[in-house]
Chain A
Amino acid sequence: MTQVLAIMVLPLFLLAGIVAAAVLDRAVPPLVAGRSLKASFVGPITVASSRAMGQTGATEHPDTISWILAPILYFTLAAIGLSVVPFAPGVVAADLDAGIVLWGACESLTVVAVFLHGWSANSPLPLIGAYRYVAIGLPAMLLSMFVLIAAALPAQSLAVTDIVEAQRSVWNIVRQPAGFVLFLMLGLSLSLRGPFDFADPYDLAGGTTAEISGAARLTWWLARLAMLVSVSAMTATVFLGGYLGPVLPGFVWLVVKTGLVLVVLVGAGEVFARLPPDRMMNLIWLALLPLSFLMLVAVGVELLLWG
């Protein structure tokens, strides 16, 4: 019964999250640019309507099926990833013993979805965006695996529900603060944002989106926002205790924490500079991956000594 409830809540959670993310996307850049706050629900709806009314467009000999499927796959991965997040005690759409592994699979397949999106346009700049994303996405996913294993160690379980329950004494953000930051970076990478937007950046005229318009662009935009919501909920669950919190119902706590992470990710996407891909590769392989491994070792040692 609770699983049915979770399955019903999931699309509503995703929809509300997408709306919130779209509003933040309109509100945060003007703030960073020193303009007045313009938070509006109508703004994103008008832009979405404008995109819905345009032609989808085509290039010469695109891989049409992949081009159509890529945003659907991306959106689906966001929804599947969210399915392992418990909304409240016992309320989870996919209460798997290896929920973290399912999330990891969604992360990895995101690389495939984004690559397909760039590849199938049969055009140089989208293809470069696709190449780049694979180059950066693969080590970023590796990094995430170390971070998630370190988060799962205290729970001695790969089930996301157990990871939340193991945070009753101390949240994982306290146990591995660097892991939290690394997971936020992964969130930027999964949702193609700011310093980790190597697929759809300005220097590639929109990268994998450079050749699309109309409904195709609208779908890709929604999929990106869905992934942002999904990774925000996962971050809140794995590092901020998920539904745990005093007084308020568990679901409210999850919403509040997810919203907080959403704000941080949207803000970070506007505030920090993006390194050229080669420098980013060096940073991930030579600094961030060893750091994530050290965090894993540190959590292991802590549990051995005081666990």
Chain B
Amino acid sequence: MAIAILRRLAGAAPAPAFPAIGAGMRAAADDLFLDGRLIRADSIRHARILLVAGPVREADQDDIRRLHDQMLHPRATLWWKSNPVRDFAEPATCDEDDPVAAIEAIHRALIEGARDSEPDILPNEPPNPWRGKGDYGQGGEGMMGGTPYGRPMAMTDDDLRDGLALDAYTAPFGPFLPMLPPGLKLSVTLQGDVIQTAKLLRPPSAQAEAYDGTVTALRALGRFLPILGLEAHAVRCLEAARSLSAGKPIELAKIRQFLFWSGALAAIPSGIGMVEDTDVRMRVERWLAALDESPTGGLDGSATMSPLKPARLVDLLRGREWSEAILIVNSFDTDTLISLAPVEAEDAETEGRAREDGIRMDHEGHGTHAHGATGT
């Protein structure tokens, strides 16, 4: 009886879904989660439905499998305008522009027990057995460092800023972390929350979002503001972008006023993410300035979307606190970010290093779904 009531109540709750966004689907996914019948899960652990939106790159397919296995039961996957990758049994697909009804139906079926929870895809075991120092590249000294079981372990190292010896820890982040652009995957060495080194493993997926002045600025703000804890303001910006795209009038001055009083600009440290004499705060100021202008002419697209060959994203992140790094990454549009990530050179270096320290092969290759979900 009590379980039946609990099920009925749970079935009426918004469906918690985690979007794994592929090429060209970022704006559609942003708009989708403005619907009150859904909750956008910050972590795959908080989700009941994995929503794979758009085509998934071949390199990302293992991450999708791992993400799936990190989701807790009862769980399901919906492939929205996407081709299911291998190993997913009886995949649910949806090619409609609005998949909310499909997500709701799956959620309700899971809660009511009418649909079976999806089983694991990967084996739940370490990628390689513990061997101490040896062939698996564990390395380290004494009880610290290296990659035992294929998991990187903290090792004392000098901090970049003050030389204080702290525990450094290396782990991959992305390609579907919500605070990173879809597809971006980095290997980051952290001491506390300070990035000592960052390596590009995979660039962001191309989004092909047409430059559209104020709409572009509003979308950029909608993705940036949650990092400053302004989720409600972000929703306001994304809703405005959607309305403006549909040709509906909106009060841009009001949005600008709210953001002024929120202290968003003052919260951003000056001088971080400097590219061509423009830092993160200046880029956000440009978005805000675009809200004062005509709907299509406010943002200087050439300044933010031109290829920026001399700068490298990984260099901009080095020595930054985690939250500063996330601000930097999200201050660029996808095209600029791709130009800041010199794939050819980075790939060669990264693949070589990864083989050397065992991170890529061991940390990601096989059954790892009991390990931390946050890395993906």
- Does B91 sit within 8 A of A, measured CB to CB? no
- Does B322 sit within 8 A of A, measured CB to CB? yes
Residue with the highest number of chain B CB atoms closer than 10 Å, among A56, A194, A269: A194
Cβ contact within 8 Å between A132 and B193: yes
Q: Which of A81-89, A91-99, A212-220, A244-252 contacts B (4 or more CB under 8 A)?
A: A212-220
Cβ contact within 8 Å between A276 and B179: no
Nearest CB in chain B: distance from A182 CB, A: 16
Cβ contact within 8 Å between A276 and B374: no
Please judge, given known A-B contacts A34-B239, A270-B232, whether A206 and B371 are in contact too, CB under 8 Å.
no
What is the CA–CA distance of A34 and B253 in the complex, to the nearest angstrom?
13
- Does B366 sit within 8 A of A, measured CB to CB? no
Please judge, given known A-B contacts A211-B373, A273-B264, whether A128 and B193 are in contact too, CB under 8 Å.
yes
Cβ contact within 8 Å between A276 and B321: yes
What is the CA–CA distance of A30 and B235 in the complex, to the nearest angstrom?
9
Please judge, given known A-B contacts A205-B43, A206-B46, A210-B42, whether A49 and B10 are in contact too, CB under 8 Å.
yes
Please judge, given known A-B contacts A210-B373, A272-B262, whether A205 and B177 are in contact too, CB under 8 Å.
yes
- Does A169 sit within 8 A of B, measured CB to CB? no
- Does B13 sit within 8 A of A, measured CB to CB? yes
- Does B310 sit within 8 A of A, measured CB to CB? no
Nearest CB in chain B: distance from A295 CB, A: 22
Task: Pick from B73, B226, B235: contact of A55, CB below 8 A.
Answer: B73
- Does A271 sit within 8 A of B, measured CB to CB? yes
What is the CA–CA distance of A52 and B193 in the complex, to the nearest angstrom?
32
Task: Pick from B171, B261, B267: contact of A274, CB below 8 A.
Answer: B267
Cβ contact within 8 Å between B6 and A49: yes
Task: Pick from A30, A60, A271: contact of B370, CB below 8 A.
Answer: A60
What is the CA–CA distance of A131 and B166 in the complex, to the nearest angstrom?
13
Residue of A nearest to B272 (CB): A276
Cβ contact within 8 Å between B269 and A52: no
Residue of B nearest to A198 (CB): B323
Count of chain B residues near A, Cβ 8 A:
59
Contacts of B170-203 to chain A: CB distance below 8 A: 171, 177-179, 190, 192-193
Nearest CB in chain B: distance from A130 CB, A: 10
Task: Pick from A32, A47, A128: contact of B322, CB below 8 A.
Answer: A128
- Does A76 sit within 8 A of B, measured CB to CB? no
- Does B169 sit within 8 A of A, measured CB to CB? yes
Residue with the highest number of chain A CB atoms closer than 10 Å, among B72, B178, B375: B72
Task: Pick from A123, A132, A203: contact of B227, CB below 8 A.
Answer: A203
Task: Pick from B6, B9, B178, B371: contact of A205, CB below 8 A.
Answer: B178
Please judge, given known A-B contacts A50-B10, A124-B169, whether A273 and B374 are in contact too, CB under 8 Å.
no
Cβ contact within 8 Å between A279 and B322: no
Cβ contact within 8 Å between B72 and A54: yes
- Does B26 sit within 8 A of A, measured CB to CB? no
Contacts of A32-58 to chain B: CB distance below 8 A: 32-35, 38, 42, 45-47, 49-50, 52-58
- Does A290 sit within 8 A of B, measured CB to CB? no
Cβ contact within 8 Å between A276 and B7: no
Task: Pick from A28, A132, A210: contact of B43, CB below 8 A.
Answer: A210
Cβ contact within 8 Å between B374 and A123: yes
Q: Which residues of A contact B373 (CB under 8 A)?
A: 59, 123, 210-211
Residue of B nearest to A129 (CB): B193
Task: Pick from B6, B171, B321, B322: contact of A52, CB below 8 A.
Answer: B6
Nearest CB in chain A: distance from B104 CB, A: 13
Cβ contact within 8 Å between A46 and B9: yes
Task: Pick from B6, B43, B372: contact of A124, CB below 8 A.
Answer: B372
Task: Pick from B74, B171, B236, B372: contact of A34, CB below 8 A.
Answer: B236
What is the CA–CA distance of A274 and B228 in the complex, to the nearest angstrom?
5
- Does B105 sit within 8 A of A, measured CB to CB? no
What is the CA–CA distance of A47 and B12 in the complex, to the nearest angstrom?
8
Nearest CB in chain B: distance from A56 CB, A: 8
Q: Which residues of B contact A269 (CB under 8 A)?
A: 229
- Does A306 sit within 8 A of B, measured CB to CB? no
A–B complex contacts, Cβ < 8 Å, 27 sampled: A28-B232, A29-B232, A32-B232, A34-B254, A46-B9, A46-B10, A50-B10, A53-B111, A54-B74, A60-B151, A123-B372, A123-B375, A128-B190, A205-B43, A205-B178, A206-B45, A210-B45, A211-B374, A213-B72, A270-B232, A273-B229, A273-B230, A273-B263, A274-B230, A275-B267, A276-B321, A277-B321
| A residues lining the B interface (CB < 8 Å) | 28-30, 32-35, 38, 42, 45-47, 49-50, 52-60, 121-126, 128, 131-132, 194-195, 197, 201-206, 209-214, 217, 269-279
Closest 4 CB pairs of A and B: A123-B372, A274-B229, A49-B9, A32-B232
Apart from the given pairs A33-B236, A46-B12, A279-B269, 10 other A-B contacts in the complex at a CB distance below 8 Å: A49-B6, A50-B10, A59-B372, A121-B372, A124-B372, A125-B374, A205-B179, A205-B374, A271-B262, A276-B321
